[in-house]
Structure 1
Amino acid sequence: MNRPQYILLPVNPYFIAFSLAAAFLLNLMPWGRLVAVPDFVALVLLFWNVHQPRKVGMGIAFLLGILMDVHNASLLGEHALAYTLLSYGAITIHRRVLWMTLGVQMFAVAPLLVGAQIVPFMIRLLMGAAFPGWGYLINGFVEAALWPIASTLLLMPQRRPEDPDDTRPI
């Protein structure tokens, strides 16, 4: 109950763009057939939808999904639909999630992240692709486990004071 409350600085829009671009570049890495490789775009997109829903919305989620579909050479729109649904869910619960601790937030965002993995999974199965295995759905749980790390890293620039002062209590 006595957690320190930080007054966050306004987020820099260039930092949002940089973090989304960095997540996209991490998704472009050739991970091969590794199991439990998180979707970094979904994780960072979810973070910004929860913390800055007016700056990062469903339009950006749709565009990032189209870019991921083009990169993966998959059915055009499957990631776009998944990211748009993820964004909608995050914007819907963003006020409740922000009141929770990071450990509880992890469990609150896990259904959204797993759902973002289920949408392309189901679309591929409906289109007649081979069953990729249940290990494909583990990625959502790995992303949920990475939520506290992503939150800490992406909030760091907002937590530093503009002019540090040893006598200031906040």
Structure 2
Amino acid sequence: MIMPAGQPLLLPVKPWFIWFSLLLALLLEMMLGMGLSGRAAWPPDLLAVALLFWVVHEPRRLGIGSCFVFGVALDVHQGALLGQHALAFSALAYLGLQVHRRLLWFALPTQALHVLPLLLAAHALQWLVRLLTGSGWPDWSALLAPLVEAVLWLPANWLLLAPQRRPHDPDDSRPL
């Protein structure tokens, strides 16, 4: 694959790092749910951002099935309707797989703009499931979560790609 101009070549990602980052995002999501925000609608879904990131960057290592499993785990932890997050994360993974080749050609701010509709669709799917089960209409502050998640795409990109940017074989006698 030809890389966009000015983008450095990255080393292959270690599979353990993908799963470690996803488990860490799941734990952070669980701690945020138990913290001060509680059941508020505005906090970002860190697990959704991490899942979408790895689906876009490593589509062969993470797919719809693993996103479904993480969604069920989050549903069980939050005591939410079983399958609510699983359905949203599966749809998010599907949409991420549809745009992953095109998305990586854009600069990071443009990527965040392209990711925003995907995150909005995942949240809208969760809101629809809640409406169908009689939980009521979401508050206007629920629209902040996808916006914050799209902004979090930038630091997530820097943080999760950092281990791949290290020099692969330092050697003073080679120019590359």
Instruction: Provide TM-score, normalisation by structure 1.
Output: 0.93
Q: 1:108 to 1:166 in 2, by over 3 A?
A: farther
Aligned length: 169
1:70 equivalent in structure 2 = 76
Q: 1:111 to 1:167 in 2, by over 3 A?
A: farther
2:44 equivalent in structure 1 = 38
2:129 equivalent in structure 1 = 123
Identity of aligned residues (%): 49
1:25 equivalent in structure 2 = 27
Q: How does 1:1-170 map to 2 (within 5 A)?
A: 4-29=6-31, 30=34, 31-34=37-40, 36-165=42-171, 170=176
Matched residue of 2:6: which SS? coil
Partners of 2:135 and 2:118 in 1: how far apart?
A: 24
Q: 1:169 to 1:93 in 2, by over 3 A?
A: farther
Map Cα deviations across residues 25-74 of structure 1 (whole Å, 9 max, x no partner).
Answer: 11101232555311011000000000000100001010011011111111
Unaligned regions of 5+ residues in structure 1, if any? Answer: none
Kept in 2, the 8 Å contact 1:62–1:84? The answer is yes
Q: 1:117 to 1:21 in 2, by over 3 A?
A: same
Partners of 1:164 and 1:34 in 2: how far apart?
A: 48
Partners of 2:108 and 2:133 in 1: how far apart?
A: 38
Q: CA RMSD in A?
A: 1.7
Matched residue of 2:148: which SS? helix
Partners of 2:104 and 2:147 in 1: how far apart?
A: 20
Unaligned regions of 5+ residues in structure 2, if any? Answer: none
Shift of 1:162: 2.0
For 1:9, the aligned partner's letter is L
Q: 1:72 to 1:35 in 2, by over 3 A?
A: closer
Partners of 2:175 and 2:121 in 1: how far apart?
A: 42
Moved more, 30-39 or 93-102: 30-39
Kept in 1, the 8 Å contact 2:41–2:139? The answer is no
Kept in 2, the 8 Å contact 1:118–1:137? The answer is no
Partners of 2:122 and 2:72 in 1: how far apart?
A: 14
For 1:151, the aligned partner's letter is N
